[in-house]
Amino acid sequence: MNEIVETLRKAGHRVTLPRRAVVRVLLQAERWLSPEEILTPAREYCHSLSLVTVYRTLALLSSLDCVRRIHFENGCHGYARTELVHGHYAVCRDCHRVVEFTGSDALNPLLEQVEAQTGFLVESHMLELVGLCAACHDSE
């Protein structure tokens, strides 16, 4: 049994076919997906699945910190499983691949500096890198 389903169960939520379907699609993807992009393949696992349920499942998984929203300049967002983007991530503008990176501790001195500079108490931050992944970079 996979981790996300396990988290669902432990939190007292029911493990239903529609939810399994959404989770399976998320687990297979190495990239972020829009709700629509989740719906289509997930229907192979649950024929009756509706977009509404995809939204509801994503909201639930999000509250359990199993998936994360991915943000863009234009405002539309996608979802990727947290395991994929536990900390900070880079998004390929071409294939939508999402890759986590480490080393964002390097931000800490900056955050402290900002607090000193602006008087802000920084509670959270959003750092998203956009570019081309190795594969898309090579094929351009």
Partner DNA sequence: GTGAATGCAAACTATTTGCAAAGGT
Partner DNA sequence: ACCTTTGCAAATAGTTTGCATTCAC
137 binds DNA (CB under 7 A): no
C-alpha to C-alpha distance for 119 and 40, rounded to whole angstroms:
48
Do residues 45 and 24 touch, judged by C-beta distance below 8 A?
Answer: yes
In the region spanning residues 77 to 116, those forming contacts with its own copies, defined by CB under 8 A, are: 77, 90, 92-93, 99, 101-104, 106-107, 109-111, 113-114
Q: Count interface residues toward its own copies (CB under 8 A).
A: 39
Residue 49 structure tokens:
């699945």
For residue 111, the minimal CB distance to its own copies (Å) is: 7
Binding mask 31-70 for its own copies (x = CB under 8 A): --------------------------------------x-
Residue 137 interaction partner, one of DNA, its own copies, none, beta carbon < 5-8 Å per kind: its own copies
- Please classify residue 139 by burial: count the beta carbons closer than 10 Å to its beta carbon, then call 0-12 exposed, 13-18 middle and 19+ buried: exposed
Which distant-in-sequence residues (6+ apart) come within 8 Å of 62 by Cβ?
Answer: 68, 69, 79
Distance, in Å, from the CA atom of 42 to the CA atom of 57, rounded to the nearest integer, reads: 12
| Residues that bind DNA in the complex, under the rule CB under 7 A | 9, 13-19, 34-36, 46, 48-53, 55-57, 59, 75-77
